Amino acid sequence: MNEATDRRDAIVLGVGGMGSAASYHLARRGLDVLGLERYDVPHTHGSSHGITRIIRRAYYEHPSYIPLIERAYELWDDLAERSGRPVIHRTGSVDAAPEGNVVFEGSLRSCEEYDIPHEVLTGAELGERFPGYALPDNYLALYQPDGGFVVPEQAIVAHVEAAQREGAEIRAREPVDGWEETPDGGVRVETADATYEADRLVLAAGAWNCKFADALDGLAVPERQVLAWFQPKTPRLFQPAEFPVWNLSVPEGRFYGLPVYDVPGMKLGKYHHRDEQVDPDEWNTEPDPEDEALLHSFAERYFPEGAGPTMRLATCMFTNSPDEHFILDTLPEHPQVAVGAGFSGHGFKFASVVGEVLADLAVDGETDHPIEMFRFDRFD
C-alpha cells in the first residue's frame, strides 16, 4: 500500500452527475475535497451522458419527490447563472397513458397535491397542439409547462469547474481499488496511483457503487440501456419549442423521449430496455439491430413523423433499486460514508439537489431534505 498523502476533509468516489454536484457542495462549504473519477470528466461509460436528460416537475413515481425536484430546479438555475453555461432548457413536459395508468394518474396527483400548474389533454388534443405526437385519441396527457431537459455533460463540467473554483481537486483517470476505515474513524482510499485519507467519504460511483459497499449488494443493480436518435421526416415538429419532453406508457412498455438537440434526431428510450442486468466492467456497450428495431418500431407507431433514419445509437446504464426509488443515506456500519445510489433511470434531473443532500449527509450525518423514503432501513 502506498503511503497516504495529506489528509482531506472529504473524498468523493465518482465525478459524474451526482459526484460532481457533491464535490461542488462540499467545497462550497469550505471543505478540502478530492474527487476521484476512473474515466474522463465527463465520459460515456456510465449513466451521466446522452446529450439531454429529462427534467419534470410533475412526478408520477411518488409525490415525495416533489420537494426535491423543486430544489433541483433552483440549483440548476443557480448553476447556470454561476457558470454561464445553459445547463437547463424548458420545453414543457408530457406524461401520457391510457386512463387509469400510473404515468398519467400519478403525475396528476402530484400536480394537484403540490399546486403545480398543469393541463389535462386527450391524445387528440395533444396532437392538435403538438403535431409531432400521434397518440391514441382517448389517451390522457398531463402537460406541465416547466418541464424540459438538462444537458448532462455541460452540467458535470459546470459543477466540476464550480468545485475547482472553491478549491476542490478533481482527478480523472484514477480508478479506485478500494477503501477502508482508519482507526480514528476516517477513511483510507487506495488507487493505482496513490493512497488518500479523509474524514469523510461519498460514494457516487453510479453502477460501480455496488463494488464499494456490501450494503448495496442486491440493492443497486446495473442494467444495460439503449438510446436512439431518429431523423424527423418533418424536422420543425421536433424542435424544443414545438415538442415537449415526454413519458409514455403503452402496451409495448414505458418509453421516454426528447426533442432534437445537438444531434439531428428525436431522442427516445424504453425503461428497462431489454431487462439485461450487467457487470459494469463487462457488458455489451455496442447497440445492436435488435436494440434499434425495438425503438424504431415504437417511434413509427406513436411518433411517425419523427421515425426517419437512425442518426445515433448509444448505450448507458441504469442502476436499479428493488423499488426503483433512490438510496440516499449513510452506510449502516460506517456513518462517515454517505451514499447516493439506485437512481433507477430517473435520477439525473435531481443531481443538483442530490449533491446537496450528499454533502449534508457527509458533513452532518443528516439533512433537512425529505429523504426518509430513500433510507436503507426501508429494505429491512
Which residues carry out catalysis? 49, 52-53, 267, 272, 316, 349
**Alpha carbons 298 and 94: distance in angstroms, whole number:** 17
CA distances from 51 to 26, 54, 88 (A): 26, 10, 12
Residue whose C-alpha is closest to residue 378's, from 202, 214, 215:
215
Q: Which residue type occupies 271?
A: Y
Written as nine digits, the cell of 46 is 456510465
End-to-end CA distance of the chain: 36
Q: Is 225 left (phi over 0), alpha (psi -120 to 50) or beta?
A: beta
Say how many C-beta atoms besides its own lie within 10 A of residue 44's C-beta. Answer: 14
Alpha carbon distance 208, 14 (integer Å): 9
Q: Where are the beta strands (DSSP E) in the chain?
A: 8-13, 33-36, 53-55, 88-90, 93-97, 119-122, 140-144, 148-150, 169-171, 176-181, 187-191, 195-203, 221-230, 245-250, 253-258, 266-270, 310-320, 327-331, 334-341
Q: Smallest Cα–Cα separation from 255: which of 133, 122, 358?
A: 133
